[in-house]
């Protein structure tokens, strides 16, 4: 079977494992960089591979509008089209469609919406969304779901969930290439425990290859988002991969990994990277700040990304302030590497049953991180204080 998922170790509820797909294996827990239109903004597929990305995310809504599923199919599928040779996961676009409030109409059968590009009327149904992702030849596909807004009344959230569950059943029945494209169900239910548990229970009765927690990061407070993860993850089938959609900060990832989640995607590292908000082992750095103007140190001396290997903070400061495209590329490369290394470290921590320790040291270092900028000026006599002393060879 193409989509074998094996769990190789546990630490509490956290699992370390391996998901096999037709385009290679994914070591889990894994972070999936987001290449909505078929590329992670600013990066080549080779750079993404070198950063350690095992799987890339793309988006069916965006690709359907432009260049269109037929066009990509004619070019041999999404792998040939993008040049990305490792696994690809496509989101169904339910989240994007339901963000088009005022420009979409939901009925029992599907959703009709207007393209955000040219206003053209389009329609998604559960069957068509499965078929389109199978035609793209992606490894991991998502069902069409209804992503309710936050806040929402419980009764409305339940009606919406019932539609999502019905669409999930139709999506399963619509599969034609299960050996080539895995299908994930999506648990909705807003911030209501009863609904989240119902979603997990009813989806578990369907033969999905994996199960996602959707409808988070839609404006709800952090405590509610974390509660949703804590209720839903353990209620999803133990033997299948679990995917938390669209989350989040390293702290969010650590919390969800500890709750038993295996897959993640988020635009945060790339988007922040483009704007000069850079993740380091000593906290988040806003590279535009004047304190970095003459800073000769690498962004993060422990980072092995191509940016930290060569250039000083002063150059990043200069490029990002000048709006130079290379500044955005450098920020993206570094931040993605940070997230991918962070996940590799969590996998190692689970193998050695040290996840709790990682969480405690993380809490300490994020407290330090609040002071990062005031500590950012090189201390006289430190290894980083001048010349190339702080750089890797
Ligand atoms: Zn770096």
251-272 pLDDT, tens digit each: 999 999 999 999 999 999 999 9
Bridge partners, residue 242, by sequence: 211
CA distances from 376 to 295, 325, 329, 372 (A): 8, 25, 22, 6
In this prediction, residue 389 carries a pLDDT of 27
**Residue with tokens 């909505």, as numbered in its chain:** 36
Q: How many Å lie between the centroid of ligand 1 and the Cα of residue 307?
A: 5
Q: Does residue 11 have an active-site annotation?
A: no
**What is the distance, to the nearest Å, from the Cα of residue 167 to the centroid of all Cα atoms in its chain?**
23
In this prediction, residue 367 carries a pLDDT of 62
In this prediction, residue 370 carries a pLDDT of 46
Q: How many Å lie between the centroid of ligand 1 and the Cα of residue 244?
A: 25
Max CA pair span of the chain: 69
359-386 pLDDT, tens digit each: 998 887 666 544 444 333 333 333 332 2
Distance from C-alpha of 266 to C-alpha of 336, rounded to nearest angstrom: 10
CATH 3.90.1170.50 fits 5-266, yes or no: no
Task: Report residues of the chain scoring pLDDT below 50.
Answer: 369-393
Distance from C-alpha of 261 to C-alpha of 212, rounded to nearest angstrom: 9
The domain segmentation of the chain, as residue ranges, is 5-266, 272-369
- Retrieve residue 277's tokens: 């908000």
Residue in 87, 66, 80, 40 with CA at minimum distance from that of residue 184: 87
Q: How many Å lie between the centroid of ligand 1 and the Cα of residue 235?
A: 37
- Retrieve residue 26's tokens: 């994914």
Ramachandran angles phi, psi of 355, nearest 5°: -65, -40
**Residue with tokens 């894994």, as numbered in its chain:** 30
Q: Does residue 265 have an active-site annotation?
A: yes
In this prediction, residue 94 carries a pLDDT of 85
**Residue with tokens 């079977």, as numbered in its chain:** 1
Which of 91, 139, 209, 341 is catalytic? The answer is 91
Distance from C-alpha of 383 to C-alpha of 311, rounded to nearest angstrom: 16
């Amino acid at each position: 079977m193409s989509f074998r998922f094996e769990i190789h170790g546990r630490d509490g509820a956290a699992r370390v494992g391996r998901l096999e797909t037709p385009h290679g294996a994914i070591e889990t827990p894994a972070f999936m960089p987001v290449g909505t239109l078929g590329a992670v903004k600013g990066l080549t597929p080779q750079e993404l591979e070198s950063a350690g990305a095992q799987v890339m995310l793309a988006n069916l809504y965006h690709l359907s509008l432009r260049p269109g599923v037929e066009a990509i199919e004619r070019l041999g599928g999404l792998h040939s089209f993008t040049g990305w040779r490792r696994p690809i996961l496509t989101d169904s676009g339910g989240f994007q469609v339901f963000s088009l409030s005022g420009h979409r109409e939901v009925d029992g059968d599907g959703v009709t919406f207007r393209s955000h590009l040219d206003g053209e009327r389009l329609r998604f149904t559960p069957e068509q969304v499965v078929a389109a992702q199978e035609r793209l030849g992606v490894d991991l596909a998502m069902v069409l779901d209804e992503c309710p807004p936050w806040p929402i009344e419980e009764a409305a959230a339940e009606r919406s969930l019932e539609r999502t569950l019905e669409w999930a059943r139709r999506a399963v029945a619509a599969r034609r290439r299960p050996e080539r494209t895995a299908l994930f169900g999506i648990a909705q239910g807003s911030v209501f425990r009863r609904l989240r548990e119902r979603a997990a229970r009813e989806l578990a009765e369907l033969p999905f290859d994996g199960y996602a927690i959707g409808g988070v990061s839609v404006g709800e407070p952090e405590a509610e988002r974390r509660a949703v993860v804590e209720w839903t993850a353990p209620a999803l089938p133990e033997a299948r991969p679990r995917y938390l959609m669209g989350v989040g900060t390293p702290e969010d990832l650590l919390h969800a990994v500890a709750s038993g989640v295996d897959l993640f995607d988020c635009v945060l590292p790339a988007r922040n990277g483009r704007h000069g908000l850079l993740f380091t082992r000593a906290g988040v750095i806003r590279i535009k700040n004047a304190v970095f103007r003459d800073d000769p140190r690498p962004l993060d001396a422990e980072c092995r990304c191509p940016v930290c290997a060569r250039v000083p903070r002063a150059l990043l400061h200069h490029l990002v302030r000048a709006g130079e495209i290379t500044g955005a590329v450098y920020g993206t490369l570094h931040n993605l590497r940070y997230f991918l290394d962070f996940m590799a470290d969590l996998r190692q921590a689970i193998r050695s049953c040290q996840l709790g320790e990682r969480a405690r040291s993380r809490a300490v270092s994020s407290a330090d991180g609040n002071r990062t900028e005031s500590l950012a000026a090189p201390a006289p006599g430190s290894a980083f204080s001048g010349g190339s002393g702080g750089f890797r060879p």
